[in-house]
Amino acid sequence: MNLITLSPWDLGWAALAVLVLAAISLREGLGIERTLLVAAVRMAVQLILVGYVLKALFTTVNPWLIGALALAMVGMAGYEVRARLKRKLVGPWGRWLATGPLFLSSFAVTLFALLAVVGAEPWYHPRYAIPLLGMMLGNGMSGVALVLNHLLATVPARRDEIEQRLMLGETRDQAMHDIRREAMHAATIPLINAMTAAGIISLPGVMTGQILAGAPPVEAVRFQLLIMFLIAAGSGFAQVMALKLTVARLFDARGRLRLDRMG
């Protein structure tokens, strides 16, 4: 396998394209230059740091350190979901609904993949466990943020409709049926687009990375299919859980809509 290595100068040339885009935004008054540059610097620092952390973990293969890193990743993912929400649930429930579905879904799907599909020895080896969990969390984070954003923005706007349906005798789930469907549809559009475009319009990241690293294309396709199936399941489970739990929180024990539970 002919492995291509990249020097800091190579990465600098790639970063130059981002700087050019920021300069264009500044010149045209588009207002994204600061956010773009901060995101680029943050990404670079985070990836460099995690590279050294993974290098140490690959050497020691300590399950306690791997578990600590996994929990830290989940915590940060939950924080990012909550930070992206325009409207939030108040109190501890708001934090739990941003983190709990991600934790349950991502860990469940990652464990399934490690034990039933990958078959690494040991099963928690960080070379497989951390990248898989990271992909589950990254995509699940986006999905949960989208579904909660849509739900929490729509419910106050359609409060009268929801309460009228409740007065006509519908249950909480019946009154929220259309809104839940719309929220789920909005949250799954990016994932569905990525799946339908794969192989025809775009070559997904894992497959592209393996091909660039010298892996046979058919083998790269198999790994990409595995990842896409896992991402679809993990992100979908997290969205469904977040949607169901949030709807339950928006109603009290008597089935009344409680917008005072939203910030």
Rg, Å, the chain Cα set: 21
Banded pLDDT at 4 (limits 50, 70, 90): low
Please check the confidence at residue 263 and state whether its pLDDT lies above 80: no
Query: Is 151 exposed, middle or buried (CB count within 10 Å of its CB: 0-12, 13-18, 19+)?
Result: buried
Q: Which two tokens stand for residue 77?
A: 């993912």
Give the pLDDT confidence of 35-58 residue by residue, as tens digits.
999 999 999 998 899 888 888 888
Buried/exposed code over 136-148 (b: 16+ C-beta within 10 A; e: otherwise): bbbbbbbbbbbbb
- pLDDT of 163 higher than 60: yes
205-262 pLDDT tens trace: 777 777 777 778 888 888 888 888 999 999 999 999 999 999 989 988 888 888 887 7
Taking 90 as the threshold, does the pLDDT of residue 8 lie above it? no
pTM for the structure as a whole: 0.82
Quick check: 1 pLDDT over 60? no
- At 57-88, the pLDDT tens digits run 888 888 898 899 899 999 989 888 888 888 88
Domain ranges for the chain, please list them: 1-60, 61-261
Strand partners, 198: 202
Residue 124 has a pLDDT of: 87
Contacting residues for 140 by C-beta, under 8 A, at least 6 apart: 77, 101, 102, 105, 106, 234, 235, 238, 239
d(CA 179, CA 20): 41
Q: Is the pLDDT of residue 108 over 60?
A: yes
Please name which of 241, 161, 213 lies closest in space to residue 2, comparing C-alpha atoms.
213
pLDDT bucket at 3, cuts 50 / 70 / 90 = low
